[in-house]
Amino acid sequence: MSTEKPVSLKNLTLLGHEHLPATGGYLILPSQLSYMDLLRLEQVLGGREVVYLVEPGAALHPLLKAHLEKDTVHALGIDTQSGDVAAYRKAIDAEIAKGAVVIYLPAEAAAAVAPLTTVPGVKLEFLMKADCPVVPLAVLNLGDVALAIEGHYDESETVFSFGKALVGEDVTLAAYQEALFTLAEVAFNQHPALNLHLAYAMLKGLKRHGTSNQIIDGKDEKELGYDKVLAVAIALSKVIKTETQKRRVGIILPPGTGGLIANIAVLLAGKIPVNINFTAGRTSVEYAIKAAELDRFITADIFVRKMQSFPWPPMKQLVLIERLLPKMKAKIGLWLILSKILPASLLALILGVPKKGGREEALLLFTSGSSGNPKGVALTHRNVMANVMQFSNRLGMSSSDSILGSLPLFHSFGCTVTLWYPVICGLNLVTYPSPLETKKLGELIEKFRVSLMIATPTFLRGYLRGVNREALTSIKMCVTGAEKLPPAVAQAFEQRFGKKVYEGYGLTETSPVSNVNLPDPVPLGNEGSGHVWLANHRPGSVGQNIPGLAVRVTNPDTNEPQSIHTSGMIWFRGANVFEGYLNDPKRTAEVIDQDGWFRTGDIGRVDMDGFLYIEGRLSRFSKIGGEMVPHETVEDALVKAMNLENETVRKIAVVGVPDPDKGEALILLTAIAGGPEHQEILDLRYRLLEKGMPPLWIPKKMIRVADIPILSSGKLDVQACEKIAKGIV
């Protein structure tokens, strides 16, 4: 992580100022630049001669235009669309030779909140052809990524983050983008809200949105205002404090009012919530309980009776929430009055809730175990606060919006996006205990006018089978994650409901959201007005990075750095990236380097506009005859060869098994009934060879299964698939 100490200049925080060359001319390429920022940049540069690079007809702020028209200001016109590199270099060279600092002025742009840059990739690529040093500059207005609970930020509260000058062969679009990602991460790290304690943020959110927002429990459709949620959670927190001396408390509940209250109560009790995966096998559950050192579990009678196969701890360790709460009506009433009267700061003081959490553990999640044993991911207060800020400001939802919460609370996506996010940011939360009962979910969406739907492609398939088009009329945005979004599912969903599906990406270790596609912005002006319009989604990608998340790409085998535009191992660094696995320094060291970069295990690349493409998980590659073969690419080819494009349910899966001759061999699992497996795989082989697929990439054998194994999160159960393949082959 960066150890740079920011130097404040009025409301401006300067980072990397020492990277500005003391002598000689150079080009500054800012991510964005308002009129106020421009004036302060001039001050930062001191007495250096400044030349502004402006495109003819570019839409600029009136004050900025007026500034450029001054006799003392030197502006240089340049047309990035002309493609005339020679003319561009000649104009720039003349200024650089005089030792001037040339600053490119980006036009006003319609874009997502806090974008990496407001300059389209094609223009940046042209600007990179200047034969001079290029200094990247990330500009972040703190108000752009602020939370409502923080109050108002002055528009001048800004961070300038300068990078080292790119020179010679390093002056490329990929190098500039990578530098800008890192500079934006350093700038984002200065935000004061990152230091908030999650319990304090929840307390402030519940108070601020107490009478305007509520949770609707889809099981009985009862509504509970956030003010009452706070009162109940405070009362329950007092019980939790007396129940256990352990740091962590287990929660075994599905999405609903009980699950929300339990998580908040554990936080207010000064403890760490651990939502247990009740769909996992006995071994995984017992491992998680032991690793987390749990001796108390919040659950409900009805859930204990329903989940009889679950390895329940002894009854004395269970805190049955629906038995407790009816006995606490008087205390809840008292806390309701006190929480309305007292300011959040005083209430926090009474409850012993600190304002700052920082890098202390806030919650513990366990990975799904899709390709190995579950790992304990300890997320800090800083991690969770960062991701709530990043996700909420990217989405731009308002207090009148509602979010559907049906993903399990032990799922990182369900935890951050349907627990912490709606309460802190003030959205209505409509819950239901299962994402599989799509008919009921459709009814809830229609009745309570849900505007934000979070799902996985597997769960979207259920909507296609049993939900009427009219039920989803209120949906403004449908975001999917956890697994690759098949084009057939996205197209079928849009055709049936008239709603685009926006694919996102994340991991438990990134708290979890790292990328998301969004609806395109409304253009600021008519075509030809000079305004820039930036795409917010790109089919096939998982979207652009959330604000403040840096990315780099390395060779999967050697970890040597390479261009982010070429396919390789994806690494992330940012405030939302976890700091290590629970009591597991060995596995932590395998994925986090000494500079805080996290090795995702996924193979992918970034395009010229910052969209990330995931090409497969490393665990879903096989090394056959020395060649890396991506399972998902093979699956895509098989879907076409087997005419499965219109299938909305996963019918095939490809896994690798040991092979004495080639190192590994591919096995095809299929849930499609048919003739002899040997003959079918031969027919498939000929079809794939005709389409140009390399022979090594074609599955060696086929195995029929009743269903393709899927985890509760909607992901492919890789372990189960491999067991089937290895057990039969």
Distance CA 559, CA 553 (A): 9
- Pick the residue with more confidence: 596 or 634? 596
- Pick the residue with more confidence: 361 or 652? 361
DSSP state, residue 519: P
Residue 476 reports pLDDT greater than 80: yes
Residue 154 reports pLDDT greater than 90: no
Contact present, 408 and 713 (Cβ < 8 Å): yes
- Pick the residue with more confidence: 164 or 11? 164
Task: Tell me, yes or no, whether 223 lies in a domain.
Answer: yes
Contact present, 474 and 451 (Cβ < 8 Å): yes
For residues 525 and 633, membership in a common domain is answered with no
Task: Tell me, yes or no, whether 420 lies in a domain.
Answer: yes
Distance CA 74, CA 570 (A): 42
Res 151: pLDDT: 83
For residues 307 and 446, membership in a common domain is answered with yes
- pLDDT tens digits, residue range 87-141? 899 989 999 999 999 999 988 777 777 889 999 999 999 999 988 999 999 999 9
- Residue 79 region by backbone torsions, left for phi larger than 0, else alpha for psi between -120 and 50, else beta: beta
Residue 10 reports pLDDT greater than 80: no
Distance CA 174, CA 547 (A): 18
| Distant-in-sequence, close-in-space partners of 425: CB < 8 Å, separation ≥ 6 | 147, 148, 205, 388, 392, 397
Please identify, among 136, 168, 188, the residue that sits at the C-terminal boundary of a domain.
Answer: 188
Count of CB atoms situated within 10 Å of the CB of 211: 12
Tell me the pLDDT band of 3, cut-offs 50, 70 and 90.
very low
Task: Tell me, yes or no, whether 352 lies in a domain.
Answer: yes
Read off the CATH number of the domain in which 586 is found. 2.30.38.10
- pLDDT tens digits, residue range 513-557? 999 999 988 776 665 556 778 889 999 999 999 999 999 999 988
For residues 664 and 612, membership in a common domain is answered with no
| Of 233-237, 368-372, 541-545, 582-586, the least confident | 368-372
| Distant-in-sequence, close-in-space partners of 128: CB < 8 Å, separation ≥ 6 | 134, 171, 172, 173, 176
Residues of the domain holding 148: 7-188
- Pick the residue with more confidence: 29 or 526? 29
Q: By three-state DSSP, how is residue 512 classified?
A: coil
Please identify, among 188, 209, 240, the residue that sits at the C-terminal boundary of a domain.
Answer: 188
Residue 676 reports pLDDT greater than 80: no
For residues 104 and 68, membership in a common domain is answered with yes
Please state the rounded mean pLDDT for residues 68-73: 80
CA atoms within 13 A on the CB side of 306: 11
Task: Tell me, yes or no, whether 371 lies in a domain.
Answer: yes
Contact present, 94 and 52 (Cβ < 8 Å): no
Residue 466 reports pLDDT greater than 60: yes
Distance CA 552, CA 572 (A): 7
For residues 288 and 433, membership in a common domain is answered with yes
- Among 54-58, 123-127, 461-465, top mean pLDDT goes to 123-127
Q: Among 495, 515, 631, which residue's Cα sits nearest to residue 572?
A: 515
Q: Among 65, 64, 34, which residue's Cα sits nearest to residue 160?
A: 34
Read off the CATH number of the domain in which 245 is found. 3.40.50.12780
Task: Tell me, yes or no, whether 538 lies in a domain.
Answer: no
- pLDDT tens digits, residue range 587-631? 899 999 999 999 998 999 999 999 999 987 777 778 787 677 888
Please state the rounded mean pLDDT for residues 269-273: 98
For residues 107 and 30, membership in a common domain is answered with yes
Res 1: pLDDT: 42
Whether this model's pTM surpasses 0.85: yes
For residues 99 and 155, membership in a common domain is answered with yes
Tell me the pLDDT band of 7, cut-offs 50, 70 and 90.
very low
Q: By three-state DSSP, how is residue 665 classified?
A: strand
> How many structural domains is the chain composed of?
4
Task: Tell me, yes or no, whether 1 lies in a domain.
Answer: no
Res 528: pLDDT: 57
Res 483: pLDDT: 80
Amino acid sitting at position 288: A
Count of CB atoms situated within 10 Å of the CB of 131: 14
For residues 12 and 120, membership in a common domain is answered with yes
**Where would I find the H helices in 436-563?**
438-447, 457-466, 487-497
Place of tokens 């996700």: 391
| Distant-in-sequence, close-in-space partners of 400: CB < 8 Å, separation ≥ 6 | none
Angle at 466 between CA 462 and CA 467, to 5 degrees: 100
Task: Tell me, yes or no, whether 388 lies in a domain.
Answer: yes
Contact present, 578 and 383 (Cβ < 8 Å): yes
For residues 176 and 206, membership in a common domain is answered with no
Read off the CATH number of the domain in which 643 is found. 3.30.300.30
Task: Tell me, yes or no, whether 720 lies in a domain.
Answer: yes
Distance CA 48, CA 56 (A): 25
Contact present, 115 and 544 (Cβ < 8 Å): yes
Tell me the pLDDT band of 713, cut-offs 50, 70 and 90.
low
- Of how many residues is the chain composed? 729
Contact present, 264 and 229 (Cβ < 8 Å): yes
| Of 16-20, 245-249, 279-283, 349-353, the least confident | 279-283
**Where would I find the H helices in 517-582?**
none
Distances (CA, A) of 374 to 276, 297, 511, 697: 11, 19, 16, 30
Please state the rounded mean pLDDT for residues 175-204: 97
- pLDDT tens digits, residue range 317-354? 999 999 999 999 999 999 999 999 999 999 999 999 99
For residues 567 and 649, membership in a common domain is answered with no
Tell me the pLDDT band of 729, cut-offs 50, 70 and 90.
very low
Average pLDDT of the chain to the nearest whole number: 90
Tell me the pLDDT band of 5, cut-offs 50, 70 and 90.
low
Please identify, among 510, 533, 556, the residue that sits at the C-terminal boundary of a domain.
Answer: 533
Strand intervals (E) in 194-296: 214-217, 222-225, 248-251, 272-275
- Pick the residue with more confidence: 676 or 225? 225
For residues 571 and 645, membership in a common domain is answered with no
For residues 386 and 276, membership in a common domain is answered with yes
